[in-house]
Amino acid sequence: MMRDAESLAREMEVARNIQRDFLPESLPIAMGVQLEAALHPAREVSGDFYDAFILAPAGTIILVVGDVCDKGVGAALFMALFRSLIRASADPVGGGAIQMIGGRRTLVRQAIEAASPADLLTRVAGFTNDYIARLHGRTNMFATVFLAALTPTTGQFDYVNAGHEPAIVVGPDGGTRELRPTGPALGLMPDRVFEAGAGTLERGHCLFAFTDGLVEARSPAGEVFGAERVRDALRASTAAPGQLVRGVMDALQAFTGPAEPHDDVTLLAAKRTIG
């Protein structure tokens, strides 16, 4: 029995390490944009994920926050799949996939590089959705995902919210704007339609995306943290993204106290510093 427990502990440690490798080792550095992220799993492994990477040659920053349904090892396996599908379909050039279908300068590559950010995001959402729904539909696994494409020089951004918690744009004065769903969660049914929204991240404004583990966290008395407390925490921490993420987590921990976390919590913040 002791050996079985030790073996299980070793297997979970391996799973944690593998899953950690599916998250970005570091966040990209771009002139005029500061990024910060945090992931706090409720168990040994997580169904949440985030990603951030820059597309060449335009320099567009792709931001991703996702939450796979369910918990435990099954959710962790699908987290790796969803994250890989999104990264590969959003960046087939940098990821090397494009070389597998015909070299460095193909019509496919040229079409990908010429696509608008909105077209890119809707294509990524549609591809990921159809892949999961068609090949793994019997598992009934799906993920809510927030995708954004941010142009650092102008602050313009496009986004697809696939059934996810509304991301929030917070201004230096504490004003907020919600980026609500533009389509369903990914993987439920094939051939779903995804639309893109748009906005501008002005100087001093911050784009904040998160998973529902934040708003659904509970106090020892059973009260939920809720969206209004999230906005209050954002208004109180409108400095650098690192301070903002820490401020939100500090507010959450003060609220939940010693209560056991019931879900993963993931935060991703992008603040524009020029403009």
pLDDT of the residue at 98: 47
Report, as an integer, the average pLDDT of 210-237: 94
Report, as an integer, the average pLDDT of 85-95: 83
For the chain, which residues make up each domain, given as ranges? 34-272
Q: Which residue has the tokens 């943290």?
A: 225
Report, as an integer, the average pLDDT of 57-74: 91
> Would the pLDDT of 121 be above 60?
yes
- Which of these, 151, 100, 147, lies nearest to 128 by C-alpha position? 147
- Strand duo 167-170 + 206-210: pairing: antiparallel
pLDDT of the residue at 92: 77
Q: Would the pTM count as exceeding 0.85?
A: yes
pLDDT of the residue at 122: 97
Which tens digit of pLDDT belongs to each residue from 227-266?
999 999 998 876 789 999 999 999 999 999 988 888 999 9
Name the least confident of 49-58, 81-90, 107-116.
107-116
Which tens digit of pLDDT belongs to each residue from 1-35?
666 666 656 666 666 666 777 789 899 999 899 99
Distance CA 232, CA 49 (A): 24
DSSP 8-state code for residue 95: T
- Which of these, 256, 230, 218, 112, lies nearest to 167 by C-alpha position? 230
Report, as an integer, the average pLDDT of 136-142: 94
> Would the pLDDT of 90 be above 80?
yes
Q: Which residue has the tokens 């994920």?
A: 49
Higher-pLDDT residue of 236 and 210 is 210
Distance CA 94, CA 92 (A): 6
Name the CATH superfamily for 34-272: PPM-type phosphatase domain (3.60.40.10)
